[in-house]
Amino acid sequence: MDIKKDPMGRAIADYHRTGKAGRLRVFSPMFEKDEIPVQTLFRAYEDMPESERKALDMAKGSTLDVGAGSGCHSLVLQQRGVDVTAVDISPLSVATMKERGVKNVLEQDFFALHERYDTILMLMNGIGIVGTLERMPDFFRHLDRILAPGGQLLCDSSDISYVFEDEDGNIEYPEDMAYYGELNYTMQYKNIMGAAFDWLYVDAETLKRIAKENGYAVEVLVEGKHYDYLARITKNNEEE
Ligand code: SAH
């Protein structure tokens, strides 16, 4: 990724260097303008939601932190002696993670990795990088390649159907919508505008169904307060 198109990475680098950052804006056709408070990307274990703490507590063996951002999860695991590797496509986030002391950092696209890991973490709605439901089968074929035998993927997501609920509690989706959790985002920080990207929010039932079709099982470990959940995905050996 070109650093001129890396708004989140620039915000992370600024916050790391100066202890403050400007607004990290998020645009999506579906939502009002929004922003990500940059300091939350630097959260400590105590400040993390239960789902993230649980995922960290369950990480074992060689562990991959996908879309690691500022390295907040990798740093906790590293301190605990877990063999963790952080991966991110953002060059400025990768540089910041190195400065913060994350020992194993890869500047790469998750989908281009080929080593195997016992635990794969995708946190802060990390499974979002799959982008669309259509890409799910490719995602599971990639897991076949990089998840070690007996390995686990720990990811979080949310059921965002509440976004389409009216005052009476009726849910109606726009007719042209393939799946309501398929969003498209653009981020901006200062004068840096990122490229638009697909981001997926998937409800647990849909994730379970698609995982099963692709030879994987999903267990919901934590249900959060905002329709969010933590899932553990493992290879479904019964069907082999
Ligand atoms: N996990 C971190 C950051 C979440 S933001 C946290 O919880 O705070 C999502 C991160 O995923 C960003 O840093 C972005 O650069 C990274 N990312 C997006 N697509 C990616 C891909 N295909 N491969 C690796 N990293 C990716």
d(CA 190, CA 195): 15
β-strand partners of 24: 36, 189
> Would 13 be classed as within a structural domain?
yes
> Would 166 be classed as within a structural domain?
no
Centre of ligand 1 from the C-alpha of residue 223, in Å:
22
Name the residue with the closest Cα to ligand 1, atom 1. Answer: 68
Check pocket membership of 41 for ligand 1, CB cut-off 6 A: yes
Centre of ligand 1 from the C-alpha of residue 74, in Å:
13
Q: What is the pLDDT of residues 47-71, one digit of tens each?
A: 999 999 999 999 999 999 999 999 9
Name the residue with the closest Cα to ligand 1, atom 26. Answer: 67
> Would 109 be classed as within a structural domain?
yes
Centre of ligand 1 from the C-alpha of residue 69, in Å:
6
Centre of ligand 1 from the C-alpha of residue 153, in Å:
16
Q: What is the pLDDT of residues 143-168, one digit of tens each?
A: 999 999 999 999 999 999 888 888 88
Name the residue with the closest Cα to ligand 1, atom 14. Answer: 67
Please name the residues in contact with 90: beta carbons below 8 A apart, sequence gap of 6 or more: 1, 6, 8, 9, 12, 69, 107
Q: Domain with 40 in it: what CATH number? A: 3.40.50.150
Check pocket membership of 8 for ligand 1, CB cut-off 6 A: yes
> Would 209 be classed as within a structural domain?
yes
> Would 167 be classed as within a structural domain?
no
Predicted pLDDT of residue 238: 57
Query: pTM for the whole thing?
Result: 0.96
> Would 46 be classed as within a structural domain?
yes
Q: What is the pLDDT of residues 165-188, one digit of tens each?
A: 888 888 888 777 889 999 999 999
Q: Which residue range forms the structural domain that includes residue 136?
A: 3-159+173-235
Q: Are 63 and 55 in contact (CB under 8 A)?
A: no
> Would 168 be classed as within a structural domain?
no
Centre of ligand 1 from the C-alpha of residue 155, in Å:
13
> Would 164 be classed as within a structural domain?
no
Domain count, the chain: 1
